[in-house]
Amino acid sequence: MNEANWDLLRLFFAVANTGSVNAAARQLNMSQPTLSRRLKELERYVGAPLFFRVPSGVLLTQEGEDLKRAAASVVGSFSSFHQDWRLRVGPRTDVVKISATEGMTKHWLLPRVHRLYELHPHIRLHINSTIEQQDLTNSDLDFVIRMGHPGDNELIGRKITTVGFSIYASEAYLSRRGQPKSAGELKGHDVIGTSGDFSGFRGERVGRMPLLTIFLKAAEASRTLRLMPLGNHYFAAREGLGLAFLATPFAMAEGLVPVLPEESMAMDVWLLRRRESDLRKLTRQVGRFLEKEFAASKAWFASGETVGKQPTCKQ
């Protein structure tokens, strides 16, 4: 049977098992005239009557009995397959997988998980926290929150905000070593990070990152601490181990102090996804949630001025 006739066979079994067209129609959530019309299609395909009417409903003709016996194993196998498939597919449908940097995860994403749980009680979140640029095309991730140029043409998404960057240190470090007054005074200070630590900012034009260039040149003439993953730079700066090039809102959330307050730069933040993920209803809903939350957080990402009182979007 072709695909259309397989559906007719499903309807036939519903009537055969209930012994009533009306009862089967209610079970199938369709009208009785529609079901009767579809059964006539099957009878024309078979070339023989499959039912005859009795006061209690319908009974199978000899051809109907033969069809029921012949197709019973096929229908049973399909029913088992359908149940097994639902068990396998169902759990993944409730899972949303997100990759974001350590700072983004700690200071922006995790504070919004409670709200996601309220909106979607059955959601199961898998969060991969890393500075490494995760590749959606070769993974089962639903979303990547990426700083810098997205790079992958296979992905869809858009720039959702910009995040400010500057050089930061702890108050204890600056009290001990002094506050640099200019870029030239950065040399000689302890520096957290080297050029290799920032390779994840791929795709960004050097001309757009003059402050990072200045910072890395200072690192070449200073005592440096190479520390990976990059999220640990926040903790090292908080421990007073040197100057660090950090995202403004996350650095301020850690209680760090801008070293050259007048110097900063901005980097684009992208929310990327696979087109196929849109087939899952929950993934579409989470995508809209993230977009609204990013829109409500634009000022915070730019300056970090509302740290501790992050704006959230009322859903």
Question: Fold for domain 3-92?
Answer: Arc Repressor Mutant, subunit A (1.10.10)
Average pLDDT over residues 104-127: 94
The domain 96-303: what is its CATH number? 3.40.190.290
CATH 3.40.190.290 residue ranges in the chain? 96-303
Q: Is the pTM of this model over 0.75?
A: no
Sequence ranges of the chain with CATH classification 1.10.10.10: 3-92
Tell me what pLDDT residue 83 has: 60
- How much of the chain is in helix, strand and coil states, percent to nearest 5? 50, 20, 30
What's the confidence (pLDDT) of residue 250?
93
Over residues 241-284, the pLDDT tens digits come to: 999 999 999 999 999 999 998 888 888 899 998 777 788 889 99
pLDDT mean across residues, the chain: 83
pLDDT in tens, 187-223: 889 999 887 777 655 555 544 678 888 888 888 888 8
> Using alpha carbons only, how large is the chain's radius of gyration in Å?
31
Tell me the residue ranges of DSSP E strands in the chain. Answer: 51-54, 57-60, 95-100, 124-129, 143-147, 156-169, 191-192, 224-225, 243-247, 257-258, 265-273
